[in-house]
Structure 1
Amino acid sequence: MTRTDVPATWDERTMLTTFLDYTRATVHAKCEGLSEEHARSAPLPGSPLMTISGLVNHLRWVEYSWIQVRLLGEEDLGPWTDEDPDREMRIAVETPLAEILSEYEAQCARYRELVASLDLDTPAKEPIRDGTHVTLRWILHHLIEETARHNGHLDILREMADGVTGD
C-alpha cells in the first residue's frame, strides 16, 4: 500500500481521497510489527477500551457507519448496541490484529470504488443528529479528520507499547 499525501492531480476529489487513503495507510504503518500483546494492551488507566486493536476496529466500523448506514441508508448491522455503544472497541481484543487490519483494508477498497462512482454532492440518505443530510464531500472530510485524530492516539499507544515512533 502506497502511503503518500501528495495527490496525482489537484482536483477536489483526488485531494480528498488521497488524504483519506494516506490516513488509512498510516493506521497500517502504526501497527506494523506490533505484537498481539501490545495490540490488546490498554495502558491508560482511565481508558480501558483504548487499545490499538480497538482503535483500528473502531475506524473500520466508523467508515461502515458513515458510508453504508448514513450515506447509503442501509440497515445498521454494526456490533454496537444500546447497552454497549463501544462494543467494536471491546470485541477487538478477541480478534487477531492482522485480521482486523485485513478487514479494514478490504472495506476501504470497497468504499474507494463506491466513492469514485458518486458525485461529491451526493446527499446522505440518513440525517445526522440535527436533521441535516450531509454530502459525500462532508463525509470524506469527516473520515479524514476522525482517522487522523485516531492516528494520533495510535502513535501514542504504539510508543507506550514498544517505543516505536514515526510519522
Structure 2
Amino acid sequence: MLTTFLDYARATAVAKCAGLSAEDTARAPLPGSPLMTLGGLLSHLRWVEYWWIQVIFLGEEDTEAPWTDEDPDREMRVGADTPLAELVSGYEEQSARYRELVADTDLSTLAKRPVKDGTHVTLGWVLMHLIEETSRHNGHIDILREMADGTVGD
C-alpha cells in the first residue's frame, strides 16, 4: 500500500509538469520564495528520495547530492536550470530502482543510519515520510503550474 501511494504521488508530480516550457520550468513567481520553481521541486523530490533511501536507509556515503554546506538548497537551483526531460527521466529511473529495492524488504527493517535525534527509523517510516513530502510538494507544483499557464488538474 505504501509503495502504491508513493508511486501515485511520484506520477502526479511528473504529470503536473508535462508540457512545460523551459521558461516555465525555471520561473520563480513567488517573490518570497525565489527557489520555488517547478524544475527545482522535481529536482528536490529526486534528491530527497536519494537521501532517505540511499544515505539513511541503506547507509551509503553521500557522494552524489548536489547540496553543499555553503549552498544547502543547491538541488533547487540545479533543477531550475536542468531541462525538464532530464529531470523527469532521472526521477523516474531512480524511482524504478527504489521501487525494486524496497519490494522485497520488510517494512520493519531499520535504517542503517540514524536520523537527527539518533533514532533508526524503519523502511515503513521512510516510505511514509516520502509520501508526505512528495504529496506536500505536489501542492506547490499544482499552484506553480496554474500560475505558469493556467493548467489545473488532479
- Which TM-score applies when normalising by structure 2? 0.98
- What is the correspondence of 1:1-167 to structure 2 with a 5 Å cutoff? 15-77=1-63, 78-167=65-154
Whole-Å Cα distance in 2 between the matches of residues 80 and 72 of structure 1?
Answer: 19
State the structure with bigger RCO (CA 8 A, min sep 6), 1 or 2: 2
Whole-Å Cα distance in 2 between the matches of residues 61 and 147 of structure 1?
Answer: 11
- 1:87 to partner: Cα distance: 0.4
Q: Which stretches in structure 2 are left out of the alignment for 5+ residues?
A: none
Tell me if the contact between 2:39 and 2:81 (Cα under 8 Å) persists in the aligned partners.
Answer: no
Give SS of 1:137's match. helix
Whole-Å Cα distance in 1 between the matches of residues 77 and 84 of structure 2?
Answer: 13
- Which TM-score applies when normalising by structure 1? 0.90
Aligned residues: CA RMSD: 0.6
Whole-Å Cα distance in 2 between the matches of residues 67 and 43 of structure 1?
Answer: 31
Q: Which stretches in structure 1 are left out of the alignment for 5+ residues?
A: 1-14
Count of residues in Structure 1 that have an aligned counterpart in Structure 2: 153
Q: Which amino acid aligns with 2:149?
A: D
